[in-house]
Every structure is written in C-alpha cells, then in structure tokens.
Amino acid sequence: MANAAGLTAPTPRPAARTALASLRHRDFRLLLGGQLVSSAGDQMQSIGLAWHVYVLTNSPLQLGLLGLFRAVPFMLFSLLGGALADSVDRKRLLILTQSSQMLLTSGLVAATATGHVTVWLLYLVTFLGGAASAFDSPARQAIIPNLVPREELAGATTLLTLLRRTAMIVGPGIGGLVIGRFGLSWNYFGNALSFLAVVAAVLVLGPVPQMAATSGRNWERLTAGLHFARKEPLVIVPMLMDFLTRSCGSTNTLLPIFARNVFFVGAEGLGVLSASMSAGALAAGLVLGSVRQVKHPLVLMIVAYAAEGVFFAALGFSRGFALALAALFLKGVANIIGEVLRLTVMQLKTPDEVRGRVTALSGIFDVGGPQIGGLESGVVADFIGPVAAAITGGLASATLAIAFGFTPGLRERLLETSDKLTQGPPALVS
C-alpha cells in the first residue's frame, strides 16, 4: 500500500492511501489552513510590490531588482534559519517570524496610506521580508513531519505543494482586484492580516515532538545540514538537479515578452498564460494525491524534470496561443510531480535533528535556481529572442535532468522501489 506521492508505506493503513488522509490529523489541518491564508497574502503583496515599483519608476530593470532584493537575504540567512529551526521550539520560532513580518507589512501599509513611499523603501521592505522568510521557511517545512505519521508524509507534502499553487492563483487575483478598487494600501493591509492565520494556528497546536539538535561548535551546527546532504545522495543529487535545471531558464521572465510581442494578447493574455501553468500543477497534484503506488518514484522524478524542460521548449515551438497554453499546462503537470517526489524523498531521508538545516539548504537552491534562470532568460532573449531562449533553455534543462539520472549515488538507487525508500528512520551521518 502506498501513500500520496506513490511511496509505499511500510505498515498498511486503509486511511493513508491518499493525500487527503493526512487531513485527519487536527494539528496538520490547522497549520495547513493557516499557511493557505498566509501564502495567499504573500502573493497579494508580491503583485502589489511589483505594480508599485513599476508605477513609481516605469523601469523594467528596477522592477527586476525586486527578485534580487528578496533572494539575496534569503540565501544569506537560510543556513542560520535552519540551525534555529533545529535548536529552538519551532512553534515559538514561527510565531516570532510571522509576527515580525506582520509588523513590517503594517509599516508598509502606513507609509503607503500617507504617501511616504519611495522605491528604496519598497526595496528595503522586500529585503527585510526575504530575511524573515529565511528563518520562517525552514521552521514551517521542518515542523510538518512532526505533525503526521511517517507513512503519510508524502500525502502531506502533496497537499502543501497544492496549497502553494492555489495561493499563486488566488493571491494575485485577489490582489489585483483590491488594488484596482481600493488601492495599494488596502492590498498590503490584507497581507498584514493574513499573518494572523498562521499565528492563530500555531497557538492552538498541541504538543509538537521534536528531536534536539546534536551538540557541537557553532559553525559545525550551522553546516550540519550541508554535511549530511553531501553524504546522502538521495538528498543532495535531487537538490542539485532542481537548482541546475531551473538555472537554464525562467518561464516567469519570458511570459510577459511572449504575451506582448509573440502572441499579441496583452496583459489579459499574460494572466491566462500564467494561470494555465498553475492549473496544470493543481490538476496533477489532485491526481497525484489519489495515486496508491508508483513502483519506482526516483525514475518518475527524473522523467518529470526532463518532461518539464521539453514542455518549456514546446512553448518556444508553439505557433499559436492555444498551443502555448497546452505546453504551459503540461509544464505545470510535470513541475508538481517532480517537486512533490523530490521534497518527499528529501524529508524521508533526513533525520529530524537536522531537518531544519537541510530544509534551509534546499531553500537556498530553490530560490537561487529560478533567480539565475530569470537572468539567463533575460540575457538570452535580448540577444536571440524569446522564442529561441525558451527552446534552448528547455532543451538544456531536459538534458541536464536526464544526465542526473546517471550520476554516482543516484544511478545505483534509481530503481529502488517505494517501499524500500520508506523503510526505517534515517540515521544522522556524522
């Protein structure tokens, strides 16, 4: 019998056959609901900041700097955030990080409402928000395995991934409506309120078991996640594969150019293109959540990453708007399958005492890859055009994914069945 992402559970349980089985755990339901509201609020603020910067500057370059101002602090402080997630109470850390972000956003609300906003203030808010996320994200992800049984972890991961995709559709939609009808300050106010959802959920959680981090010098404790990942191929290799394939190009960077200069569909068409990829991810996630068994999940993970690159290239080959929508929908399908399997394997193979630090390391790769890919797509599109940029980036991404299937450490274990992957608690390698 298998859990949500096709990984067979060692102890058969009728209730653990689908992703929805993890919802029977009260504390997981509470945190999931809180994160859905908070993530939608984050997306509202993201679209608001982008609109705000462009209104103030009318500069695509300065608009592009927003991603840099968020990524740099996240990558700088993530290892420290992961170490804290392993050494302090994760519930208290979540309350602190969510409250600090709520105060930061409240300051943005006040500045916007009174007309005292400059582009540099928006960059500062983005930078500080990225730093806070570096401490918040490891704690939020590392606490999940403490709330559900091991055999239901894949289902919980599937639901969390679906949650993020849902927020990426709902948040910008609500944000656009609020900005259009009530203004930017009310949009930011909506995000400030959304942080209360996670704070409230954490406050009413029951006791959360957590293994204490191993002792050692400060630098050793900070880098313990890296040392563990280096010695566990099923953690570091998929992590590197995700980083490098994402570095080959960014759909988010190219879609505005395709909407305006290739398909001539304007801003409304851009929204449809973006929604198509998210819709594919949601549809695949729902199907993935009902799958009972995938015999070789690592093979499927490699295939999904390669397929995502192929469908990215298909966007460039598309000669009509409908074909582009189909390519993006299928890209979203492949994206969520690969992401869910990668995150599930990482969680299963990581011991709780270093889970926060390994999650933080994964977060650095998750954020860094798309940022490099966005820069790469912009530069290539400037030289040879967006169509060629999508084709070359997609084919390079697919080639890299296939090549990773032959890397030492993963090649030997590629055909491991799902029941073997879930056997026994992982041991910390010192």
Residue 2: helix, strand or coil by DSSP? strand
Which of 31, 63, 44, 325 lies closest to 169 in space, CA to CA? Answer: 44
CA separation for the pair 387, 257 (Å, rounded): 10
Of residues 98, 124, 116, 131, the one with CA closest to residue 184 = 116
The encoded tokens of residue 103 equal 């105060």
Within a 10 A sphere around the Cβ of 428, how many other Cβ atoms? 17
Give the ranges where 210-354 is alpha helix by DSSP (H): 218-222, 224-231, 233-246, 251-257, 266-288, 297-317, 321-349
**Phi/psi of residue 2, nearest 5 degrees:** -125, 160
Q: What is the pLDDT of residue 210?
A: 55
Helix axes 355-384, 224-231, angle to 10 degrees: 80
Q: What is the pLDDT of residue 313?
A: 96
Q: Can you tell me the distance from the alpha carbon of 321 to that of 330, in angstroms, rounded to the nearest whole number?
A: 14
Contact 108, 188 (CB under 8 A): yes
- Which pLDDT does position 309 carry in this prediction? 95
Q: Which of 10, 17, 18 is nearest to 286 (CA)?
A: 18
pLDDT given at position 271: 65
- Tokens linked to 128: 């500080």
| Residue reference for tokens 């592009």 | 64
Measured CA distances, 392 to 21, 87, 310, 389, 397 (Å): 41, 44, 10, 5, 9
Predicted confidence at residue 307, as pLDDT, reads: 96
Residue ranges for the chain with pLDDT beneath 70: 1-20, 59-64, 169, 172-173, 207-225, 266-268, 270-271, 289-294, 356, 415-430
Please state the pTM of the whole predicted model: 0.68
d(CA 43, CA 50): 11
Which domains, from first to last, does the chain contain?
14-208+217-421 (1.20.1250.20)
For residue 88, which of 183, 222, 212 has the smallest C-alpha distance? 212
Give me the residues paired with residue 2 across strands: 8
The tens digit of pLDDT for each residue in 363-403 reads: 778 777 877 777 777 778 878 888 998 999 999 999 999 99
